[in-house]
């Protein structure tokens, strides 16, 4: 049987996200996001009617799950911070939410895993969607602020960041093809959303570079 040797700098890992796995969707000061809203309004749209309520209860089982990742031979994994858990409605840090992520990153290091962190997995806080979502420049600025808070809060713990997961998907699924809540079918609105997501990414990168220059991130 042929054997293969991975390069020494190869990242061997797996991927998950906060809204898919954390559970505890309405605990610890977490705000409602679009997956929660969709679950509340139409739980039958979700396989086995799971919705956002359960995930795999990662917040309760993270130590066990991290051990499983390590037992699989992985040395990295990607997860996400939930905007709706990290900040309150005024854009201030939710201390309880921040404490959870600090503990997760600490436990990851203890388990011998390097966490890669994504800032957005299609999980916009519902109150911001009600203000226009990605069609609104106000929300673009709110995201840039959220990213800046995250970089500065966790910048000494996290080395690898992603601004958006699959940035082309939300304009298609939510605004164009009508697959995701609230099932919109508007090509022009989808293009506005795509533009604003690109702009939000650029603003977040600028905030990261500023935080790096100031020594807030490693």
Mean pLDDT along residues 74-96: 98
Give the model's pLDDT for residue 55: 65
- For residue 163, being part of any structural domain is answered with yes
Residue of 117, 116, 104, 125 lying closest to 29 (CA atoms): 125
Compute and round to an integer the Cα radius of gyration of the chain: 18
- For residue 2, being part of any structural domain is answered with no
- For residue 1, being part of any structural domain is answered with no
Is residue 82 scored above 80 in pLDDT?
yes
Instruction: Note the maximum CA span of the chain.
Output: 59
Segment 19-36, tens digit of pLDDT: 999 999 999 999 999 999
Mean pLDDT along residues 81-93: 98
The C-alpha atoms of residue 50 and residue 4 are separated, in whole angstroms, by 39
For the chain, the domain total comes to 1
Decide: pTM greater than 0.85: yes
The secondary element (H helix, E strand) that includes residue 118 is strand 114-118
The C-alpha atoms of residue 135 and residue 130 are separated, in whole angstroms, by 11
Mean pLDDT along residues 68-76: 96
The C-alpha atoms of residue 113 and residue 77 are separated, in whole angstroms, by 7
Report residue 54's pLDDT band, with 50, 70 and 90 as the boundaries: low
Tell me which residue has tokens 């800032």: 119
CA torsion sign for 31, 193, 131, 179 is negative
The CATH number assigned to the domain holding 22 equals 3.20.20.80
- For residue 61, being part of any structural domain is answered with yes
Give the model's pLDDT for residue 2: 84
- For residue 33, being part of any structural domain is answered with yes
Give the model's pLDDT for residue 86: 98
Percent of the chain residues past pLDDT 90, beyond the cut: 90
Lowest mean pLDDT segment, chosen from 2-6, 8-12, 72-76, 175-179: 2-6
CA torsion sign for 129, 178, 203, 124 is positive
Is residue 56 scored above 80 in pLDDT?
no
Tell me which residue has tokens 């051990």: 67
**What residue numbers bound the domain in which 194 lies?**
13-213
Segment 94-142, tens digit of pLDDT: 999 999 999 999 999 999 999 999 999 999 999 999 999 999 999 999 9
Residue 168 burial (CB count, 10 A): 12
Segment 151-168, tens digit of pLDDT: 999 999 999 999 999 999
Give the model's pLDDT for residue 94: 98
Please tell me whether residue 88 adopts helix, strand or coil conformation.
coil
Q: At 156, phi and psi to the nearest 5? A: -90, -5
Percent of the chain residues past pLDDT 70, beyond the cut: 99
- For residue 4, being part of any structural domain is answered with no
């Amino acid at each position: 049987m042929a054997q293969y040797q991975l390069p020494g700098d190869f990242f061997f890992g797996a991927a998950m996200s906060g809204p898919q796995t954390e559970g505890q969707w309405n605990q610890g000061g977490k705000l409602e996001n679009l997956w929660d809203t969709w679950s509340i309004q139409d739980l039958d749209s979700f396989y086995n009617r799971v919705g956002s309520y359960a995930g795999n209860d990662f917040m309760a089982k993270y130590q066990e799950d991290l051990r499983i990742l390590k037992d699989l031979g992985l040395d990295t994994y990607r997860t996400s911070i939930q905007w709706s858990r990290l900040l309150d409605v005024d854009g201030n840090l939710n201390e309880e939410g921040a404490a959870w992520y600090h503990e997760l990153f600490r436990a990851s290091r203890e388990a011998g895993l390097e966490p890669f962190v994504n800032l957005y997995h299609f999980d916009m806080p519902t109150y911001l969607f009600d203000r226009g979502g990605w069609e609104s420049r106000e929300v673009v600025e709110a995201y840039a602020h959220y990213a800046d808070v995250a970089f500065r809060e966790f910048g000494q713990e996290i080395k690898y960041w992603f601004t958006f997961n699959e940035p082309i998907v939300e304009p298609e699924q939510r605004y164009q093809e009508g697959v995701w809540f609230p099932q919109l079918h508007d090509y022009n609105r989808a293009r506005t959303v795509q533009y604003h997501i690109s702009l939000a990414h650029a603003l977040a990168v600028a905030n990261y570079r500023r935080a790096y220059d100031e020594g807030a991130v490693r």
